[in-house]
Amino acid sequence: MSERVEGTGPDTAGDPADFRVHVATQAIRLFAEHGYEATTVEQIAAAAGISRRTFFRQFRSKEDVIFADHESLIAQASAFLSATTADPWEAVCDAARLVFDRYRENRELSVRRYQVVQRVPALRDRELVTGYRYERVFSDYLRAAVPSAPPLAVIGFTASVTACHNYLLRAMIRGDEHATPEALRAALAEVRDKFAPGAAARRAPATSALGETVTVVTYPPGTPADEVARQVRRQLEAQHP
C-alpha cells in the first residue's frame, strides 16, 4: 500500500493528544469489525488518513494504539491534580470522576475497546498495567501533597478509589443503568470516610447538651500530630469563617 504524502491530513494539525485519540478511535473500530489480528497497521493508517511512517512515529505497535486515549486521560488526571487547590484526598476522588466522565461521554468507543480487549489475552494484561498507572498517579500526588499521611492510608485509599472506579466503569460499559456518576460519587465518599484523615470532620458538627458545637475528628492510627492539628484547624475554620 502506498504511503500518503507527509505534511497533509490530520497528522499535522491540532493537539497531538487529540490526534492520537483520533487514530485510536479508527483502530478500535477496525479491530471490532475485522478482528485484532486481522487488522494491519496499513489499514489503520489509511482509516486515520495518515501514512504508515506517521503511525510508527506515534505508536510502537497495534497494541499501543488501542490504549492511546488511556495515555491522554492519565495525562489529564495528572494535570488536574497538579493544578487543583482542593483538599488532596477529595482531589483524588475528583480526578477519578473526571476519568469516568470522559469514558461515559464516549461510551461507544469504550464498549468497542472492551469487546476487543476481552478477546485478546495480551490486551487484557496490558489493560491491567494501565489501570495500575492511574493508581500510581493518585498515590504519587497524595504523597507529595500530604507528606505526613500514613503510607498504608495512602495505599489503601488510592487502591480503593481505583477499584471502585474500574468496577463501575466496566458496569457502565456493560450497560448497567445503576453505574452512574452519582453511584461513583457515593462509593468514593465511603472510601474517603474510611481512609482519609479527619473524614468525620467533614460531616455536620455535633451539638452538646449545653448547645455547644462539638468538633469530632477521626484519623487512622499512627497519623502524625501535625496532620491531626491541621484537620482540626480546617474544621474550626469551616465552622467559624
Closest CA to 116 of 30, 26, 45, 22: 30
Q: Is the dihedral of CA 218, 223, 228, 234 positive or negative?
A: negative
Q: What is the pLDDT of residue 8?
A: 40
Mean pLDDT by 10 residues, the chain (241 residues): 42 67 92 94 96 93 88 92 95 97 91 92 88 94 95 95 96 95 96 77 46 50 56 55 54
Q: Assess if CATH 1.25.40.10 describes domain 68-196.
A: no
Topology of 9-65 in CATH? Arc Repressor Mutant, subunit A (1.10.10)
Closest CA to 214 of 232, 195, 193, 229: 232
Secondary structure, 3-state, 41-77: HHHHHHHHCCCHHHHHHHCCCHHHHHCHHHHHHHHHH
pTM of the predicted model as reported, rounded to 2 decimal places? 0.73
Domain boundaries, the chain: 9-65, 68-196, 201-239
Q: What is the pLDDT of residue 196?
A: 81
Side-chain-side CA neighbours of 54 within 13 Å: the count stands at: 22
